[in-house]
Structures are given as C-alpha cells and as structure tokens.
Chain A
Amino acid sequence: MAYFLQQLVNGLTLGAVYALIAIGYTMVYGIVGMINFAHGEIFMIGAFISLIGFLVLGTLGVTWVPLALLLVLLIAMAFTSVYGWAVERIAYRPLRGSFRLAPLISAIGMSIFLQNYVLLVQGAHEKTLPPVITGGFELMQSGGFTVQVSWLQIIIIGMTLVLMAGFTTMIKASSLGRAQRATEQDMTMAALLGIDVDRTISLTFVIGAALAAVAGLMVTLQYGVIDFFIGFLAGVKAFTAAVLGGIGSLPGAVLGGLLIGLIEAFWSGYFPSEYKDVAVFAVLILALMFRPSGLLGRPEVEKV
C-alpha cells in the first residue's frame, strides 16, 4: 500500500511535467493544425537556461532559495519564449497555408537543428545541478516502507495546477484567448474580423514555450541531470499525452499527461523499467483502438 502510494506521488509529479509540455503541443495543434515537433527541444532549451540561470545567480550571490527560484523561473520563461517565437517565425510561418506535411518536415528539421545547436554550444556531457530545494515530509508509514513527499514535488504539482487554472481562465475570458479560439475555428474569417492572426499564432507559440520552460525548470530541479538529448523522449511522451487526452483539448492534455506519468511510474515500480516506454506506447495504442479521437477529444465529424 505504502509502495503504491509512493509510485502514485512520483507518477503525479512526472505527469505534471508532461502535462505542461503537452499543453504546448495541443494549443499549437488546435490553432494551426500541425505537430510542432521542435517543442520537445524547446523544453530541453528551457532546462538548459534554468541550469545556467542557477549557476549565474549562484555566482552573483543570490542564495535565498525562493528569490533564486522566482528569478530563474522568470529568466527561463522569458528566454525560452524567444526561442519559441523564433522557431515559428523562421520555420513555420513561411509554410502557413502550404500542404499538410511541409510544416511537419520543417519541424523535424528544426528539432534536429536545435538539438545539435545545444550539443555544439554546451557540449555532450550530462550536466548536473545539486538539489536546490531539499526536505519534505513523511506521508505515512506501513510495513517498514515510508512514503516520502518532497517539498519540491508539492511545488511542482501545485505550480502545474495554478498554471492550468490561470490558463483556462485566460483562454475563456481574455481577448487573446478569444482571438485564439476564433483563429482556431477559421483563420480567414478571424483575419477579416480584424484579428491579427500572425500575432495570435506567435503568442500561442510564446505561451507554449514559456510553459515548456517551466517544465524544463521542474525537471532540472527534480532529477538534477540534463543533457542535450532529453527533449526528444520528453517531447514524444508529451505529444503522446496530448493525443491520448484528445489533441486540441486543454483538459485532455492535462489528463493525458497525468496518465502517462502514472503509467510510467507504476510500470517502473513493479516491472522491468527498461520497458516503461513500451508500456506507455502500448497503452496509447490500446486507448486509441477504443477511442480513436482520444479520451476527451471530440470525434471529428466529416462533412461532405
């Protein structure tokens, strides 16, 4: 029981990270209908900028943890957003309105480029960050096994919930959210009604990148080890999460992310962990067999 609970906590933490990345995929998919394959690399860049942020702040003498955390969060979100914006501007905007596979290939090219760019400028070696936030509490104890919940896990899950809530409100109530929903439904009509479509799409990429940066920061804090290659697997799994939940649906992305995190944690806890990714993809295939549009996705009705 205690062991089960521990896997549950670990899975929720991991799932929160996937959910944050998955939102970026699902929003971009909703608005421009393309898989932003480079999004995983944006997350990786966010993790690197967070690490560098901590190192620089440490040198500057900012050692009070809450302040350092807040500063790094802002730095990572700001700089990673520029990457998100630039990727859209360079690789996707010229292809808007082109046929369906062109932006996908361009995105794959961008992803290879960004990965090798970070490899080149930061080196292939794994980077480690000593734990910034330590401590936690014991949730319960049974059968000689103690369920540990670290403060960091609380922060990660809490922050994800806050961001989600803020985000849903923004999409529902703000003028940017309205513009996004309008662009999603009909780009041409939205443009005719005076919505700056280019700006709306750019902002969508910026928001997605900022959330990926938060995920990057969390992974850096939680696992303490990053390298230039982490973006691929995290990106694929987050995209899997988005699809599992029903692509284009925000609550779906969160649900999918949490599910993927839980599957991964429970599989690693009870079965050989080398095969955890096989479990994730197998569940995806099974889920889609029975619900071809994802768990919360609306089935696509094709009009003739």
Chain B
Amino acid sequence: MGWAPRFREAALAAIVVIALAFPLIGFETNDFGHGFDTRFSWVAIAGGAAFAGKLLLGLVPRRFYLRQRAARHTALPEGKAIPIAAAAVAVFAVLLPVLPFSSRALVDLATVSLIYIILGWGLNIVVGLAGLLNLGYAAFYAVGAYSFALAAQWYGLSFWEMLPLAGLIAALSGILLGLPVLRLRGDYLAIVTLGFGEIVRIVLNNWSQVTGGPNGVNDIPRPTFLGMPIAARAPDGVTTFNQFFGMPYDPMQRVVYLYYVCLAAALLINWFSLRIRRLPVGRAWEALREDEIACRALGLNPTTIKLSAFAISAMIGGFAGVFFAARAGFVSPESFTFQESATILAIVVLGGMGSQLGIVLAGVVLATLPEFGRELAQFRMLLFGAAMVAIMIWRPRGFFTVRAPSVRLNGKS
C-alpha cells in the first residue's frame, strides 16, 4: 500500500474518533446538567492519537496482528497433556496457602477465583453441555447465598447444615425456571432467564421485611471446623479451633480454612461434572445440544433432559452462593446483578464451552482482572469491558476449544 491511501485511512479513523469524542468528551456537563465546560483539547488529542495509531498499525504487516482464522483457536492437545496439566493445577491450588509468597489477600483472592470457577462449571452444564443459553445465572447464586444467610439469621442454622439445603433450594428454583421455558429456543430462552434473574434481584431488593432490602443480611456465620468455630473468642462452653489444637489465633486461619473448604468442594464438583458427562443423562445433554430433533427421534425426552440440566446447574450455583455468603459474611442484592451473570457467562465462553480446565483459567483471569485495576479504580470496569471485547475478537472460541462430543463413533471417548 502506498502512502496516500495509508494517510487517507488514518485521516478517516481520526474523523470517526473526533465525531465520537466531540459530543461526549468535548462537552462536560456539570453535576446537575445545568451548564457545561468544554474540553476540545481532549478531542484533538483523541483524534491525533487515532491518526497516529492507524498509521502505525498500517506499517505493521497484517499477519502480525491478524492470524489466519483457522489457526485462531487451539484445539486441546490429545493424550495425557490435559490430565497432567489438571493435576499440576490441583497440586498448586492445594499448596497455595503454604507457598512462601502467599499472603492473606492472595488466599482470599484465590477463594474468590474458586467461587467463580465453581459458578463457571455450574453454568457450563446448561450452556456448554446442554446448549441452553442462560443469562440469569446469578439468580441461583443469589438463591443459594440468601437461603444460607436467611436460615442463619432466622433459624440459627450453620454453614454445614445449610450447604446441602441451599443446594436443594437452588435446584428447586432451577426447576421452577425450567418448567415454563421448556418450549423456548435460543434467544427467547435467553431473555426469559434474564427476566428471571431480574425478578429474583428485584424481590430481594424490595421485600424488606424478610430479606433486609437493599441493606442485605449481616453477620452470617463462618464455617466451623467439626463444630469448632475459628475465631479469637468463642461463647462459653464452646472450644475454638485454636484452643483445641493449642495454637495462637490468627485471622489467616479462617481465610485459609474457607479456601480449603472451597477447594474441596471445587474438586468434588469437577469430579462430579466429569463423571456425569459419561452417564446417560450427561450424554443426553450433549445430544440435545447437537440436535434436538434427532434426540426426540431416538426416544429421548427433552423435558427431563432440560430440567435435569437446569436443576443440577442451579444446585452448583447455590453451593457457590453459600461459599460467597460465608466468605463475605454479608449479602445484598447488589452482588447479584446482571453484570454478575454476564461475568459468569463470559467465564464459560472464554474457557471454551465445555472445557473444565479452560474455565479454571478463565475464572482466575476474570476474578483477578478487576484486582489489577484497583489503582486505576475508575478505569477498572472500562478496562474490563474493553478486555472482554478484545479477548473475544482475539479468541472467539475461548482459550481452549472442545466442542467435540464426549463420545465418538469409533469407540474411543
């Protein structure tokens, strides 16, 4: 390409950027919108940057930043590579709290990542395996968190008593959502699940007598170790964890303990998901994703298949909600907005739809991404959104691609 068309392209880019920036960056309305200041220099800078950027980009040969479409996603390596990588990740996760560079903040962040990974695995059952798009997954997360929080507040139930119960309640809510939407496809299903998520959030926000409204629920009990609380001081007649083991109390213990509880749950859920894919019900999910009509023709009942996917996925979301409530000690409707559902969906898609390991990677990335931006607090979400777009363009099928069904005809699976 000669210089003239390059300059023309760069000039066009600059004009577009100036048109974008002129109304919103060029004029800054003051707090109530009664007046404005102008910032035309910023517009000029943006235009100049676009011109220079486009010109420089034109100098770099295209193949450096646009790879071939076919090569854009990496298929998972065959053979033993995946189990070895998975084992390495698991060993690292187990050792994390005792590694020399580990700190309270790091373990806490790892717990958050684990919660997101569990959520990703849960949503993956519906989206990745059964192929049903769910945009309101945070609703089940909220059901789990609030069941635990409210049961603890009103009936004094503990973490371990509520963990299975909350999973059950979430599973029931999954069936409740699943029933009316059985006939819906694709994007109709997407908007209904989004609506369900909003309904749950609005009810939590407004039913103040029970849920505490926007203020949420405080003082959620932490998980105990075989009935012994991990705390500096216990009520009379109760032995604390560190008294029993004769160790000085350290707030780090509580964080590390919760981390291990989450890790154990995550490993269990991972094992469960891998196993269930080999069971008839798991294979039916994948069959349904590939072709619903063929599924019916072969005598599989789409109703039960869809409902089981919704219920199991919701149950896992409910477990994650209990961990979330136990970690923060506080829940409020703000934690369960659409943005949360979108983040979890992004984890599944970035992870490569169906890849357990890919979801681990994506979960860690999306949980830590906002932490990196802490210093640039106000740019945090801006960068988060931009990163979502950029990663999608760079790897439209996620970090790893496994769309292939778990079963193949030649007998190998």
Residues of chain A touching chain B, judged by Cβ–Cβ distance below 8 Å, are 29, 35, 45, 48-49, 51-53, 55-56, 59, 75, 79, 82-83, 85-86, 90-91, 94-95, 98-99, 101-106, 108-123, 125-129, 226, 232, 236, 239-240, 243, 247, 272, 274-275, 277-278, 280-282, 284-286, 288-289, 292-294, 300, 302, 304
- Residues A83 and B195 in contact, CB atoms below 8 Å apart: no
Please provide the chain B residues from 335 to 378 with a CB less than 8 Å away from any CB of chain A in the complex: 338-339, 342, 345-346, 349-350, 353, 378
Contact in complex: B133, A55 (CB < 8 Å) = no
Inter-subunit contact B392/A125 (CB<8 Å): no
Among B45-66, those with CB < 8 Å from A are none
The answer to whether A49 touches B388, judged by C-beta atoms less than 8 angstroms apart, is no
In the complex, which residues 10-29 of chain B have their Cβ closer than 8 Å to any Cβ of chain A?
Answer: 16, 19-20, 22-25, 27-29
Supposing A45-B24, A52-B29, A289-B180 touch, asked if A113 and B187 sit within 8 A by C-beta, the answer is no
Interchain CB contact under 8 A, B385 and A109:
yes
Contacts of B27 in A (CB 8 A): 52, 55-56
Q: With A95-B392, A98-B396, A121-B24 known to touch, is A278 a contact of B187 (CB < 8 Å)?
A: no
Instruction: Please report the C-alpha to C-alpha distance between residue A122 and residue B31 in the assembled complex, in whole angstroms.
Output: 9
Kindly provide the distance from the CB of A101 to the nearest chain B CB, expressed in whole angstroms: 5
> Which of the residues A90, A105, A293 comes within 8 Å of B388, measured between beta carbons?
A105
B29/A122 in contact, CB under 8 A:
yes
B202 at the interface (CB under 8 A from A): yes
* CA A293 to CA B29, docked complex, whole Å: 43
Contacts of A110 in B (CB 8 A): 385, 389
Is B192 within 8 A of A284, CB to CB? yes
| Pairwise interchain contact A79-B19, C-beta atoms closer than 8 A | yes
* B388 near A108: Cβ-Cβ < 8 Å: yes
Task: Please report the C-alpha to C-alpha distance between residue A290 and residue B78 in the assembled complex, in whole angstroms.
Answer: 46
Q: What residues of chain B lie closer than 8 Å to A289, measured between beta carbons?
A: 180-181, 183
Q: Which residues of the partner chain B approach A45 to less than 8 Å between Cβ atoms?
A: 24
Query: How far is it, in angstroms, between the C-alpha of A79 and the C-alpha of B345 when the chains are bound?
Result: 32
Let me know if B290 is at the binding interface, CB within 8 A.
no
Q: Write the residues of chain B forming the contact surface with A, with a CB cutoff of 8 angstroms.
A: 16, 19-20, 22-25, 27-29, 31-36, 127, 133, 180-181, 183-185, 187-188, 190-192, 194-196, 198-199, 202-203, 205-206, 293, 338-339, 342, 345-346, 349-350, 353, 378-379, 381-382, 384-389, 392-393, 396-397, 403
Task: Give A130's nearest chain B residue, CB to CB.
Answer: B34
Q: A116 — which chain B residues lie within 8 A by C-beta?
A: 379, 381-382, 385
Q: A102 CA to B22 CA in the complex, in Å?
A: 31
| A81 (CB) vs chain B CBs: closest residue | B19
A6 nearest CB across to chain B (Å): 25
Minimum distance in angstroms from A64 CB to a CB of chain B: 21
B381 touches A240 (CB 8 A): no
Output the nearest chain A residue to B189 by Cβ-Cβ distance: A288
Q: Is the CB of A122 within 8 A of B188?
A: no
Query: Which residues does chain A contribute within 8 Å of B127, judged by CB atoms?
Result: 101
Knowing A56-B36, A82-B19, say if A113 contacts B382 (CB, 8 Å).
Answer: yes
Contacts of B385 in A (CB 8 A): 109-116
Complex CA distance for A95 and B25, rounded to whole angstroms: 28
Tell me which residues across on chain B come within 8 A of A275, comparing CB atoms. 202, 206
Which residues of chain A are within 8 angstroms of B392 by Cβ–Cβ distance?
91, 95, 102-103, 105-106, 109
CB pair A112 B384 closer than 8 Å = yes
Known: A52-B36, A240-B195, A300-B185. A120 touches B378 (CB 8 A): yes
Give every chain A residue within 8 A of B199 (Cβ-Cβ).
277-278, 281-282
Q: A95 CA to B396 CA in the complex, in Å?
A: 7
Given the complex of chains A and B, what is the CA–CA distance between A103 and B188 in angstroms?
17
Closest to B378 in A: A120
Give B299 Cβ to nearest chain A Cβ, in Å.
16
Do A127 and B181 contact each other (CB < 8 Å), given the known contacts A95-B396, A109-B388, A282-B199? no
Give 7 A-B contacts (CB < 8 Å), ordered by A residue: A55-B35, A106-B389, A109-B346, A126-B33, A127-B32, A274-B206, A281-B199
Contact B20 A243 (CB under 8 A): no
Please give the distance in Å from B197's CB to the nearest CB on chain A: 9
Question: Contact between B393 and A95 (Cβ–Cβ < 8 Å)?
Answer: yes
Q: Are the CB atoms of B396 and A120 closer together than 8 Å?
A: no
Question: How far is it, in angstroms, between the C-alpha of A83 and the C-alpha of B386 when the chains are bound?
Answer: 15
- Indicate if the CB atoms of B389 and A113 lie closer than 8 Å: yes
A114 / chain B contacts, CB cutoff of 8 Å: 385
A99 pairs with B397, CB closer than 8 A? yes
Residues of A within 8 A of B202 (CB): 274-275, 277-278
Residues of B close to A243: CB separation below 8 A: 187-188, 191
Give CA–CA (A62, B393) in the complex, Å: 45
Quick one: which of B16, B33, B192 contacts A55, CB cutoff 8 A? B33
Minimum-distance CB pairs A-B, first 7? A109-B388, A127-B33, A113-B385, A112-B385, A281-B195, A102-B396, A98-B396
Given contact pairs A79-B20, A90-B389, a sample of 16 additional A-B residue pairs in the complex whose CB atoms are under 8 Å apart: A35-B187, A51-B33, A52-B23, A56-B27, A82-B19, A95-B396, A99-B403, A109-B389, A115-B385, A118-B24, A128-B32, A236-B194, A272-B206, A284-B191, A288-B192, A292-B185
CB distance from A211 to the nearest CB of B (A): 18
CA distance in complex: A240, B192 (Å): 8
Closest CB-CB distance, B45 to chain A, in whole Å? Answer: 13
- Rounded to whole Å, the gap between the CB of A56 and the closest CB of chain B is 7
In the assembled complex, the CB of A205 is this many whole angstroms from the nearest CB of chain B, namely 14
Closest to A91 in B: B389
A51, A109, A285, A300: which contacts B387 (Cβ < 8 A)?
A: A109
Question: Inside 8 A of B195's CB, which chain A residues have their CB?
Answer: 240, 280-281, 284-285
A123 to chain B, nearest CB (A): 7
B28 near A121 (CB under 8 angstroms)? yes
Would A112 and B191 count as touching, CB distance under 8 A?
A: no
Residues of A within 8 A of B23 (CB): 48-49, 52-53, 75, 79
Contact indicator A125/B24 (Cβ below 8 Å): no
Q: What A residues does B16 contact at CB under 8 A? A: 82, 85-86
* A99 in contact with B389 (CB, 8 Å): no
Given A79-B19, A288-B188, answer yes or no on A121-B25 (Cβ-Cβ < 8 Å): yes
A128-B33 contact given A91-B389, A101-B349, A117-B382, CB 8 Å threshold: yes
